Chains A and B, each alone.
Chain A
Amino acid sequence: MFARVGKWLDDRLGLSTLVELGSHKTVPVHRYSVFYYLGGMTLFFFLVQVVTGVLLMLYYRPSANEAFESVEFLMTVVPFGWLIRSIHSWSANLMVFFAVLHMISVYFMKSYRAPREITWVTGVLLLFLILGFGFSGYLLPWNQLAFFATKVGTDIAGVVPFVGEFMVRFLRGGDRVSGGTLSRFYGWHVAVLPAITTVVLLVHLALVQVKGMSVPPACEDEAKKRPPMKFFPHFALRDLSGWIFALGVLAALAALFPWELGEKADLFAPAYENIRPEWYFVFMFQTLKLVPGGEIMGLEYEAIPIFIFGAAGLLLLLVPFLDRGRSVGWALGGVAALIFAVGMTCWGYASLLPLYVVFITAILLSLFAFITRRGAQ
């Protein structure tokens, strides 16, 4: 019976071609193979975001008068509402973390070399989209932190020459951060960004399938000697074990550290002490804090770091087209940027915690590499 239904479907959908393709898919094995799991991990958190995000939409109301109260209701009255929202928040942070980690590993393994330039570009675009999700989602609970983060974040767009003022008004839906901003950010967060992300993500994933995994130059000999791993079932099962572990970590974080709601946004209250954006913006935040007020040739000092960060973003996007040799300059530049970002984040928190997170991540990755290593054949 099942065989007949299967045959009927296969005649119409051609599923056996996909199965055939999947059975040939392999992953190269070498000492850095563990980094191949990071993209899949990011994808896992993205899927969690989609599911929990849709669930949050059932209760959330995007207006200045109701947003905070609807989240409060969700957190306190709706069964498991606290869990869904906490998982959404934690998973968002972990998604950013793994996307960044994935990018760093791809950068240093130089996987962006021909013919994978477009895979890299779509990947960096996805990272920017994820940061856009983070920024727009931040405002939705309409609390004090959200209000000031959005004021600052949108004000920054004003430094762009010529179109700055238009961009600020376009982002805010008016001259000030208000209920109109909330409507816009909600639209971005639940419709515009997901639509764009879905398309870019599909291109990214398709390219990974078409071009296969890149082997870093330093491991080419090793990867030739060791037989590759079949994707089904060996690599996929290892992926899955990581995802199940991640789900456990998410549940534990959400249960032990439910996401705070804070106080409702007051458009006429001073910013509270030690106000700070999410950790992934802290290095920029700290840099902005350090730049004194002043002007040079009509350009305010505060605009200078903003332009540098913008240029760095563009540089990151174009790395595959600019890195044309075997020079170590790009690797050194990457290390310098990492040290700057981690150092500034530590400074911003006045704590070494970010550095510990880096060490713990390295240990966990090594552990995962050890557990998922291939046994004797």
Chain B
Amino acid sequence: MDAIQSQPRRTFINWFFGTTLGAIVATIVYPILRYVSPPRIPEATTNQVEAGDVTDGALKDKGFKIIRFGAEPVILLKATETDYRAFSATCTHLDCIVGYQKDQSRIYCNCHGGCYDLNGRNVAGPPPRPLTAFKVNLVTKGSEPAKIVVSRA
């Protein structure tokens, strides 16, 4: 009689302890899991950035420079004397920062040899997608050299 009665009691106690233990583990693990995944900090959306003027040394020598568009790197390049272009500088392959090769007139990523043409299209190597294009405007005020303004297209 005793043995028959104690069986469900044992099952109940096992179940009781099991769920209690499970709950304790869950209350420890959940905050830790949340803690290790970094909070999403909203970045102020940048829509327009002033990137110096047309007399900029880096643009003259190397034909390009990387500008800060908020937290995002953007490549500003001088295709011809009057033709300025800007693209996202983040390679679509594995997140490296691209550069401009003036002599080959192409945008090139040194990490894995990704190649883009001057319209940002991925033309050779591993990149899967084109670079996002940005708009470039030259603003002239009086006799000062024209200012370069980069904005989201």
In contact, B37 and A151 (Cβ under 8 angstroms) = no
Which residue from B73, B109, B110, B126 sits with its C-beta under 8 Å from A292? B126
Please pick, from A173, A268, A300, the residue contacting B97 in the complex, using a CB distance under 8 A: A268
Write out, one digit per residue, whether chain A residues 343-356 have a CB within 8 A of any chain B CB (1) or not (0): 00000000000000
In contact, A271 and B71 (Cβ under 8 angstroms): no
- In the bound complex, residues from chain A placing their C-beta under 8 Å from that of B128 are 293-295, 300-302
* Number of B residues with CB within 8 Å of any CB on chain A: 32
Give Cα distance in the complex from A139 to B92, angstroms.
Answer: 22
> Contact check: which of A152, A180, A269, A294 meets B94 at CB < 8 Å?
A152
Q: Which of A257-279 contact B (CB under 8 A)?
A: 267-275
Whether B129 pairs with A148 at a CB distance below 8 angstroms is no
Name the CB-closest residue of B to A150. B95
Cα-based distance from A271 to B109 in the complex (angstroms)? 7
- Inter-chain contact total with CB atoms closer than 8 Å: 86
Which residues of B sit under 8 angstroms from A359, Cβ to Cβ? none
User: Are A267 and B113 in contact, with the CB atoms below 8 A?
Assistant: no
Are B125 and A293 in contact, with the CB atoms below 8 A? yes
Residue of A with least CB distance to B64: A270
Complex formed: what's the CA distance from A270 to B93 in Å? 14
Q: How far apart are the CA atoms of A173 and B38 in the complex, in Å?
A: 5
Report the nearest A residue to B92, measured CB to CB: A293
| Chain A proximity of B31: nearest CB distance (Å) | 15
Residue from B40, B94, B113, B122 in contact with A151 in the complex, judged by beta carbons closer than 8 Å = B94
Q: How many residues of A contact B (CB 8 A)?
A: 36
Distance in Å from the Cβ of B33 to the closest Cβ of chain A?
10
Task: List 20 other contacts, CB 8 Å, given A152-B96, A155-B95, A169-B38.
Answer: A151-B95, A152-B111, A170-B36, A170-B37, A175-B40, A269-B66, A270-B66, A270-B110, A273-B110, A274-B110, A275-B111, A288-B94, A289-B113, A289-B125, A292-B125, A293-B93, A293-B122, A293-B128, A294-B128, A295-B128
Cβ–Cβ contact B112 & A288, under 8 A: yes
Q: Which residue of B lies closest to A270 (CB)?
A: B99
Q: Is the interface of B mostly helix, strand, loop or mixed?
A: loop
Instruction: Let me know if B89 is at the binding interface, CB within 8 A.
Output: yes
Bound: A175/B72 CA distance, A: 11
User: A289 contacts B126, CB within 8 Å?
Assistant: yes
What are the residues of chain B within 8 A of A285 when measuring CB–CB? 112
Contact A152 B95 (CB under 8 A): yes
Interface digits, B128-140 against A, CB 8 Å rule (1 contact, 0 not)?
1100000000000
23 contacts between A and B (CB under 8 A): A151-B94, A151-B95, A152-B94, A152-B96, A169-B37, A170-B36, A173-B38, A176-B71, A268-B66, A268-B97, A269-B97, A271-B98, A271-B109, A273-B110, A274-B110, A289-B125, A289-B126, A293-B122, A293-B127, A293-B128, A293-B129, A294-B128, A301-B128
Contact check, A166 vs B37: say whether CB atoms are below 8 A apart.
Answer: yes
A residues in contact with B67, CB < 8 Å: 268
**A294–B89 alpha-carbon span in the complex (Å):** 20
Contact with A along B52-83 (1 / 0, CB 8 A): 00000000000000111001010100000000
What CA separation (Å) do A268 and B96 show in the bound complex?
A: 10
Q: Is B4 at the interface (CB under 8 A from chain A)?
A: no
What sequence of 0s and 1s flags, for each residue 282-299 of chain A, a beta carbon within 8 Å of any chain B beta carbon?
000100111111110000
- Once the chains bind, are B112 and A289 in contact (CB under 8 Å)? yes
CB distance from A351 to the nearest CB of B (A): 17
Q: CA separation between A300 and B128, bound complex, in Å?
A: 7
Judge if A104 is at the interface, Cβ distance under 8 Å: no
Q: Please, how many angstroms separate the alpha-carbon atoms of A180 and B36 in the complex?
A: 12
Identify the interface centre among B68, B92, B95, B109: most chain A CB within 10 Å of its CB.
B95
- Give the interface centre of A172, A175, A270, A292 by most chain B CB atoms within 10 Å: A270
Q: Is the CB–CB distance between B97 and A271 below 8 Å?
A: yes
Nearest chain B residue, comparing its CB with the CB of A156: B94
Contact partners of B37 in chain A: CB under 8 A: 166, 169-170
Known: A291-B126, A293-B122. A155 touches B97 (CB 8 A): no
A151 and B96 in contact, given A268-B66, A293-B129 (Cβ under 8 angstroms): yes
Contacts of B94 in A (CB 8 A): 151-152, 155-156, 288, 302
Per a CB cutoff under 8 Å, which of A174, A268, A289 touches B68?
A: A268
User: How many Å lie between the Cα of A151 and that of B98 in the bound state?
Assistant: 13
A152, B94: Cα distance in complex, Å: 5
Complex alpha-carbon distance, A251 and B75, angstroms: 44
B97 proximity list for chain A (CB < 8 A) = 148, 268-271
Q: Decide if B41 is an interface residue (CB 8 Å cutoff).
A: yes
